[in-house]
Amino acid sequence: MSKVLFFNFPGEGHINPTIALVEELIQRGEEVIYYCVEEYRKKIEKTKATFRAYENFMSRVDIMKRMNEKTNPLEMALRITKATDEIVADILEEIREEEYDYVIYDNNFTAGWIIADILNLPKISSCTTFAMNELVYAGVMNMKNQIDKESPMYQEIMAMYKK
């Protein structure tokens, strides 16, 4: 059967919804190589997928500081973008002599999308989300409207995505 590269964002709400999918793919004969942070190794290995770790870039982000002090949302975006760049390079080196048929990636973890593009592989996006109400949605839209598109941080993020 096929050999799939699976990339996921570190978080219960991203990992848990994919567990049954991975189990089903393996039951159907697919070979799944699943990349995530070390914290999720046991959960992923229970599916019989081959687990491979990438650096936990979330450890670079102080979520509580961001929430309490209302720091610039671009700060987290820049850190994740830089970490993604490093993760992509590391994984490409690790898999350079391997062959895959397709990629499944979490829509919040662009490393999978980038790697699929570089390897010219078909890609499938896994999209998990949480329930939103009008208050949560208004907060998200307010944060989006506060982004200064002229700031050096924003420009650096955009330049990295244009590479």
Question: Average pLDDT for consecutive 10-residue bins of the chain (163 residues)?
Answer: 94 92 98 97 98 80 58 74 90 97 94 96 90 72 70 72 68
Domain spanning 3-131 has what CATH number? 3.40.50.2000
Are the C-beta atoms of residues 103 and 5 closer than 8 Å to each other?
A: yes
Are the C-beta atoms of residues 147 and 153 closer than 8 Å to each other?
A: no
Q: What is the pLDDT of residue 23?
A: 98
Q: What is the pLDDT of residue 56?
A: 83
- Measured CA to CA, the distance from residue 13 to residue 154 in angstroms comes to 27
The two structure tokens encoding residue 11: 């978080």
Residue 32: strand, helix, or coil: strand
Q: What is the pLDDT of residue 161?
A: 67
- Measured CA to CA, the distance from residue 51 to residue 34 in angstroms comes to 5
Q: What is the pLDDT of residue 8?
A: 95
Are the C-beta atoms of residues 87 and 111 closer than 8 Å to each other?
A: yes
Secondary structure tally for the chain: helices H, strands E = 7, 5
Q: What is the pLDDT of residue 58?
A: 65
